[in-house]
């Protein structure tokens, strides 16, 4: 570990007509930590105008999703030692840029909201809603999503129809509640996804599973949703 060149996409809507790349020379011995986020924070001590989101700094909150050398990921858990000498950092694609690496995620959240990502069950349980170990196991690989948007913004179907296709993250969450033995709104949830775009614009190219920093597989969740739809329609 020593010297790296970090090229960051900059954009200030008040002064810049379009985004441009700015290079920073860094020495990894000059700061603590080994992750890309540590390097960005080090750059910020040199150039305080650089803007990016961060919160937990350990891959739990999903704030610092960025495009690293062409592939989406979380800056806080991307090891600098595994990156080449020159690193290009851009904001997540397909979203409007607010400033530098900060993007407007309104569309992403409105798709997430549209799948009603909360447990729905009108029956009042006497005590708790009991699940068997097998029923609970079905939620593994689904509940861990941190809504960083790395998957959705790496999906060409979302790039071409961001207003109509819900994207892998929202669909993963839709399946998380369809798969939940305590949820009784499955029929409604599946009805809402049966149009031409919301789910079916997925072409199964698996960019989402390739980039997910939590190792989840939205493509598989989408496949399970399709199976549920076919199962009740045939």
Partner 1 sequence: MDMVKSITSFSSNGLRDWLLQRITAVILGVFFLVVLGFFVANPNPTYQCWYALFDCNAMKLLTIFALLSMVMHGWIGLWIVLTDYVKPKGLRLVLQIAIILTLIALLVWGIQILWG
Per CB under 8 A, does 194 bind partner 1? yes
What would you measure as the largest C-alpha separation in the chain, in angstroms? 63
- Binding residue for partner 1 (CB under 8 A) from 38, 198, 213, 217? 198
Scanning 51-118, the segments in alpha helix (DSSP H) are 106-114
Per CB under 8 A, does 197 bind partner 1? yes
Residue 199 Cβ vs partner 1, minimum distance, rounded to whole Å: 6
Burial of residue 161 (CB within 10 Å: 0-12, 13-18, 19+) is middle
- The number of C-alpha atoms within 13 Å of 217 and in the hemisphere containing its C-beta is 9
Per CB under 8 A, does 224 bind partner 1? no
Per CB under 8 A, does 90 bind partner 1? no
Binding-site residue total for partner 1 (CB under 8 A)?
22
Per CB under 8 A, does 229 bind partner 1? yes
Stretch that binds partner 1, among 2-10, 139-147, 152-160, 215-223 (CB under 8 A): 152-160
Per CB under 8 A, does 139 bind partner 1? no
Residue 179 Cβ vs partner 1, minimum distance, rounded to whole Å: 18
- Do residues 48 and 136 lie in contact, with contact meaning Cβ atoms separated by under 8 Å? no
- Binding residue for partner 1 (CB under 8 A) from 3, 12, 60, 160? 160
By C-beta, is 57 or 162 nearer to partner 1?
Answer: 162
Starting from the edge strand earliest in sequence, which strands make up the sheet with 3-10, in order?
Answer: 20-27, 3-10, 86-90, 65-68, 71-74
Per CB under 8 A, does 109 bind partner 1? no
Stretch that binds partner 1, among 87-95, 136-144, 171-179, 188-196 (CB under 8 A): 188-196
- Binding residue for partner 1 (CB under 8 A) from 138, 164, 214, 224? 164
Cα–Cα distance between 91 and 68 in angstroms, integer?
Answer: 9
Stretch that binds partner 1, among 61-69, 82-90, 157-165, 211-219 (CB under 8 A): 157-165
R_g over Cα of the chain: 20
3 state DSSP class of 103? strand
Degrees, nearest 5: CA angle 204-210-215:
115
Contacts 24+ apart (CB under 8 A), 55-60: 59/146, 59/213, 59/214, 60/146
- Binding residue for partner 1 (CB under 8 A) from 201, 208, 216, 219? 201
Per CB under 8 A, does 233 bind partner 1? yes
**Residue 66 backbone phi and psi in degrees, to 5:** -140, 170
Per CB under 8 A, does 230 bind partner 1? yes
């Amino acid at each position: 570990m020593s010297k790296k060149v970090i090229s960051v996409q900059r954009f200030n809507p008040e002064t810049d007509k379009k985004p441009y790349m700015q290079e920073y020379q860094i020495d990894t011995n000059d700061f603590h930590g080994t992750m890309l986020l540590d390097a960005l924070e080090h750059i910020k001590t040199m150039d305080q105008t650089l803007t990016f989101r961060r919160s937990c700094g350990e891959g739990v909150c999903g704030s610092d999703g960025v495009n690293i050398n062409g592939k989406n990921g979380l800056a806080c858990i991307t090891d600098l030692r595994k990156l080449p000498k020159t690193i290009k950092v851009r904001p997540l694609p397909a979203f409007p840029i607010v400033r530098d690496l900060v993007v407007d995620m309104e569309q992403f959240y409105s798709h997430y909201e549209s799948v009603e990502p909360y447990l729905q069950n009108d029956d009042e349980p006497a005590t708790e809603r009991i699940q068997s170990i097998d029923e609970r196991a079905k939620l593994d690989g689904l509940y861990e999503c941190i809504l960083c948007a790395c998957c959705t913004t790496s999906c060409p179907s979302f790039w071409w129809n961001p207003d109509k296709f819900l994207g892998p993250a929202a669909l993963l969450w839709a399946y998380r509640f369809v798969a939940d033995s305590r949820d009784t709104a499955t029929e409604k949830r599946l009805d809402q996804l049966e149009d031409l775009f919301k789910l079916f614009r997925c072409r199964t190219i698996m960019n989402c599973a390739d980039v997910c920093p939590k190792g989840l597989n939205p493509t598989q969740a989408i496949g399970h949703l399709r199976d549920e739809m076919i199962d009740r329609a045939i």
